Structure 1
Amino acid sequence: MTHPGPAATPGQVVGITGNNDVVKARQLVRTLAQESKLSLVDQTKLVTAASELARNTLVHAGGGEMEVAKVTDGARQGVRLVFRDSGPGIPDLDLALTDGWTSGNGMGLGLSGSRRLVDEFALDTTVGSGTTVTVTKWGR
């Protein structure tokens, strides 16, 4: 799948199969956010969203992967994260994206909280096939 507009460097892929992988994903995202010159506040927002989405991938889908890449759009630099799994999918997307809704696990941010922490958010899910969540945070 190609994304028109912003250009991305080749991404690094991190398998998410256990709690240690969630920690690795957070560390990698923080490093690339710093390299992309995101502010400390934006770094924290992106790392928090990454942590929640990685945990969702692990808890709800039994694992998957995160691809992380630096992106540029003109003078802007940012970081794009793509979380992919082959889990059960999300049967009620409207409910899952409702502010304050949580399955009872994780930090309670849910998908809606993660969406608020980033600049761009896209979710593609098919029941029985899996879910892909793509988020981007841009430097100011």
Structure 2
Amino acid sequence: MLDRQVRLLLRLGAAFLALSAMVSLILPSTMAQLLGLPLDIDPQFTLWNIRVSAGLLLPLAGFMALAAAFLPERALRQSGAIVAFFSALLALLMALAPSPWGWGRIAFILIAALFTLLALKALRGRLRHR
């Protein structure tokens, strides 16, 4: 049960990261607007940082998909714990970001919180069935 839930979680996370990275690479100004990032001070610098971040997310998405396909149960359990921790951290950082609130930022916070809860649920199921 755990392995199926964590595999699905990793695949969904990989798809979301890949989609976010592609939007960030192709339309960085759209991503900046969604996240409420200011483009008035130095737009080229901000857009370049968004593209670089997208370049870092693509390999992570690929690794998550490969992990879902090939990792054994113990490694999946550890991957689920990593997803829970970093999804919670992402939600916290997005909530504390010094930028205006918008629907894109709220959506990213909710998605990160959802991934946190799903990972914790999968891990809790493993503890319950020991």
**What TM-score results when the alignment is normalised by the length of structure 1?**
0.30
The structure showing larger relative contact order (alpha-carbon pairs under 8 Å, at least 6 residues apart) is 2
**What TM-score results when the alignment is normalised by the length of structure 2?**
0.31
Flag the structure with higher strand content.
Answer: 1
